Amino acid sequence: MTAADATGLRLPAEWEPHVATWLAWPHRRQTWIGPFDPIPGVYERLTRLIARHEPVRIIGSANVLADARSRLGDVAGIDLLPIATDDSWVRDTGPVILVRRPDAPATVPPRVAVCWNWNAWGGKYPPWRNDAAVARSIAARLGLPAREPGIVLEGGAIETDGNGTVLANERCVVDGRRNPGLDRDALAAAIRQWLGVDLVLWVGGELAGDDTDGHVDQLARFVAPGRVLAARQPDRSDPNHASLAANLERLAACRDARGRRLEVIPVDIPARFAFEGTQLPASHLNFFIANGLVVVPVFGAPTDEPALRILAECFPDRRIEPIDCRELVRGRGALHCITRDEVAGPAA
């Protein structure tokens, strides 16, 4: 793909209309610290909620899909698709779908799937052969042109406003285990080229226990062009306090691709959230936006209700649904990490 190939395409925001949501059904027990048995139930609850608003497409091998079918066979609008997986973080393994710009010529495809390389967050969790093929398999199922940049960029590592701006955390992109030999400038240029965006804003922050090296979907999320929610930890004794405070300052100094200074709204996250002494990356920022719906991770913490109120103010036209993620976060991720939005193109 050359720079010209991205002409006429853009990276849409998550709040734009979806054709469907994709999930990869959980089966890798060692992904979660502690018992695996509660995990499929969290996926079931999430699937049932989303299916009220848009179709859900679930991938996995035949035996994995048998469990999904036994739990969800009574739910309309769900497709079970035989695409083998190693793990269930389809946010990172699925394709990033670009859509044709309104002013683009008809020769530009309505939608294009960008299929990044995958190596399990810098080689942390072998095997990953099946997951490395997921993006291309989904693109083929959808009949979309597939573009392969040949570099690693996980879906949770980027966040867009749909208006030409991408947020990314340097720690999980400019990484020799993921992209050896490529510096920040080279990777920013690649993101702009392959995703049809104008500006990459490098943000910071990290959560203790986050094995992704700082995915931005735990730290800072657009809720509208020019408007960002950012994780905050006011408890100075918490290991997340300093890095999140510094990230808030960094974001407040940023301007987006249209020259707007970002409006940054802090969202407090649970303090010292742990399982059997291991701190986990519990963040309300790991929400997922579907058609008419926002599902928000909650953790039985004092920060739950304030976070839900902020999301309700940001999305007054959508239903705000909390989902208890105290079990799910034992895998070091939450709702955004396990979902992949399939956006609608102009022909959908």
Q: Which residues are catalytic?
A: 337
- Encoded tokens for 39: 């995990």
Q: Which two tokens mark 58? A: 């679930």
- Fill in the amino acid letter for 92: D
Single-letter amino acid code for the residue at 104: A
The per-residue b/e assignment along 297-317, b for 16 or more CB within 10 angstroms, e otherwise, is: bbbebebbeebbebbeebbee
- Quote the CA–CA distance of 305 and 322 in Å, as a whole number: 9
How far is it, in rounded angstroms, from Cα 139 to Cα 112? 8
Give the contacts of 86 (CB within 8 A, at least 6 positions apart).
Answer: 28, 120, 127, 128, 129, 130, 131
Phi and psi of 244, rounded to 5°? -75, -35
Find out whether 113 and 138 touch, Cβ atoms under 8 Å: yes
Euclidean distance between CA atoms 155 and 24, whole angstroms: 14
Cα–Cα–Cα angle for 19, 25, 30, rounded to 5 degrees = 145
Pairwise CA distance, residues 305 & 296, whole Å: 11
Residue 137 token pair: 């398999």
